[in-house]
Chain A
Amino acid sequence: MSNGKELLNVNQLQTHFFTENGAIPSVNGVSFQVNKGELVAIVGESGSGKSVTSLSIMGLVEEPGKIVGGEIMFEDKDLAKYTNKQMRKIRGNDIAMIFQEPLTSLNPVFTIGNQLREAILQHQNVDKATAKKMSIDMLTQVGIPRADKVYSSFPHSLSGGMRQRVMIAMALSCNPKLLIADEPTTALDVTIQAQILELMKDLVKKMDTAIILITHDLGVVAELVDRVIVMYAGQVVEQSDVFSLFKDPKHPYTKGLLDSTPKIQDLNEELISIKGTVPTPANMPDGCKFHPRCPHAMDHCISNEPKLDTLENGREVRCWLYDEEVMADEQSKNGNEQSP
Chain B
Amino acid sequence: MKRFLIQRFLQLIPVLIIMTFIVFSLVYVAGDPVALMLPEEATAEDVARVQESLGLNEPFHVQYGIFLMNAVQGDFGQSYRYNQDAMSIVLERLPATFELAAASMIFATLIAIPMGIWSATRRNTFIDLFITGSSVLGKAMPNFWLGIMFILILAVNTQLFPVSGRGTFMHVVLPAITLGTAVAAEMTRLTRSNMIEILQQDFVRTAKAKGVSNGIVTYKHSFRNALIPVVTIMALQTSTLVGGAIVTEQVFAWPGIGQLLVQAVNARDMAIVQAAVFLIAILVIVINLFADILYRLLDPRIKY
- Interface, chain A (partner B; CB < 8 A): 58, 60, 62-63, 84, 87-93, 96-97, 99, 101, 104-110, 115, 118-119, 122-123, 154, 156, 167, 170-171
A105 near B205: Cβ-Cβ < 8 Å: yes
A154 near B301: Cβ-Cβ < 8 Å: yes
Smallest CB-CB separation from B123: which chain A residue? A63
Interface size of B by Cβ–Cβ distance < 8 Å? 25
Smallest CB-CB separation from A167: which chain B residue? B206
Q: Is B213 an interface residue (CB 8 A)?
A: yes
B207 near A107: Cβ-Cβ < 8 Å: yes
A154 near B202: Cβ-Cβ < 8 Å: no
> How far is B209's CA from A122's CA once the two chains are assembled, in angstroms?
12
Contact of A88 among B201, B205, B212 (CB under 8 A): B212
Smallest CB-CB separation from A171: which chain B residue? B209
A122 near B212: Cβ-Cβ < 8 Å: yes
Contacts between the two chains (Cβ within 8 Å), count = 82
A109 near B202: Cβ-Cβ < 8 Å: no
- Interface, chain B (partner A; CB < 8 A): 123, 200-203, 205-214, 216, 220-221, 224-225, 228, 298-301
Most central of A87, A92, A109, A156 by chain B CB within 10 Å? A109
With A99-B205, A107-B206, A108-B225 as known contacts, state yes or no: A122 contacts B301, CB within 8 Å. Answer: no
Beyond A91-B211, A92-B212, list 5 extra A-B contacts (CB 8 Å).
A88-B212, A106-B203, A107-B225, A108-B203, A118-B216
CB distance from B125 to the nearest CB of A (A): 10
> How far is B207's CA from A84's CA once the two chains are assembled, in angstroms?
14
Instruction: Name the B residues within 8 Å of A122 (CB-CB).
Output: 210-213
A109 near B211: Cβ-Cβ < 8 Å: no
A105 near B206: Cβ-Cβ < 8 Å: yes
Instruction: Name the A residues within 8 Å of B206 (CB-CB).
Output: 99, 105-107, 115, 167, 170
> How far is B299's CA from A154's CA once the two chains are assembled, in angstroms?
10
Q: Is the interface of B mostly helix, strand, loop or mixed?
A: helix
CB distance from B80 to the nearest CB of A (A): 53
B298 near A118: Cβ-Cβ < 8 Å: no
Contact of B211 among A63, A105, A123, A167 (CB under 8 A): A123
Smallest CB-CB separation from A64: which chain B residue? B124
CB distance from B72 to the nearest CB of A (A): 41
Instruction: Name the A residues within 8 Å of B216 (CB-CB).
Output: 118
A119 near B202: Cβ-Cβ < 8 Å: no
Smallest CB-CB separation from A101: which chain B residue? B202
> How far is B203's CA from A38's CA once the two chains are assembled, in angstroms?
27
B300 near A109: Cβ-Cβ < 8 Å: yes
Instruction: Name the A residues within 8 Å of B225 (CB-CB).
Output: 107-109
Smallest CB-CB separation from A108: which chain B residue? B301
CB distance from A90 to the nearest CB of B (A): 7
CB distance from A87 to the nearest CB of B (A): 8
B201 near A104: Cβ-Cβ < 8 Å: yes
Instruction: Name the A residues within 8 Å of B221 (CB-CB).
Output: 107, 110
Contact of B210 among A101, A108, A170 (CB under 8 A): A170
With A109-B224, A154-B300 as known contacts, state yes or no: A91 contacts B203, CB within 8 Å. Answer: no
Smallest CB-CB separation from A94: which chain B residue? B211
Smallest CB-CB separation from A154: which chain B residue? B300
Instruction: Name the B residues within 8 Å of A107 (CB-CB).
Output: 203, 206-207, 221, 224-225
A99 near B202: Cβ-Cβ < 8 Å: yes
A90 near B211: Cβ-Cβ < 8 Å: yes
Smallest CB-CB separation from B298: which chain A residue? A109
CB distance from B210 to the nearest CB of A (A): 4
> How far is B224's CA from A25's CA once the two chains are assembled, in angstroms?
35
CB distance from A26 to the nearest CB of B (A): 16
Instruction: Name the A residues within 8 Å of B300 (CB-CB).
Output: 108-109, 154, 156
Q: List 18 A-B contacts (CB under 8 A).
A: A58-B209, A60-B208, A63-B123, A88-B211, A88-B212, A91-B210, A93-B211, A96-B209, A99-B202, A99-B209, A105-B202, A107-B203, A108-B225, A109-B300, A115-B206, A118-B207, A119-B210, A119-B211
Instruction: Name the B residues within 8 Å of A92 (CB-CB).
Output: 209-212
